[in-house]
Amino acid sequence: MKKYTFILILILINSVLSAQEEAKISLHSSGKIYLVVGVLITIFIGIVAFLIYLERKLNSLEEQINNDE
């Protein structure tokens, strides 16, 4: 499971990066708007990272409760 998640994340990162490359070319003439897209995506990834962190903690808490019962 972990292995597949890792591969999926790699594919996602790769697609984001290549999309940014494309955006760079097509949006450059319209004045560096790709920088704003990049910043917003960075913030979104940060929030997602927090969600994953919290979810993993919750998972272990759930496990603990279930085991003790």
Partner 1 sequence: MKKHWWKALAVLIVIYAIIAGLLIPLKPGILQIKQSGINSGQVITTEVNTYNTSYKVGDKVDAYLKINDKVKLYSTSSQILDKAKLKLSFDVPALLPQVKSFDYTLVMVDAKHGPFLRPSAVTLKQERVDIEKALSSWPKQNEVALKFVDGTKFPFRAVLYESIRNTFYHVPMWFAMVFILLAAMIYSIKYLRKPKSSYDIAARSLTAIGVLLGVLGCLTGSVWAKGTWGTWWTFQEIKLNVSAIALLIYFAYFILRSAIQDDEQKARVASVYNIFAFVAMVPLLFVVPRMVASSLHPGNGGNPGFGGEDLDNTLRMVFYPAIIGWTLFSFWLAQLLYRYELLREKVEEEFD
Give the footprint of partner 1 on this chain (CB under 8 A): 30-36, 38-40, 42-43, 46-47, 49-50, 54, 57-58, 61, 64-65, 68
- Angle 42-53-58 from CA coordinates, rounded to 5°: 150
* CA 45 – CA 49 distance, rounded (Å): 6
Closer by beta carbon to partner 1, 7 or else 33: 33
Q: In the complex with partner 1, which residue's Cβ is closer, 7 or 63? A: 63
Give whichever of 7 and 12 is closer to partner 1, judged by the CB atom.
12
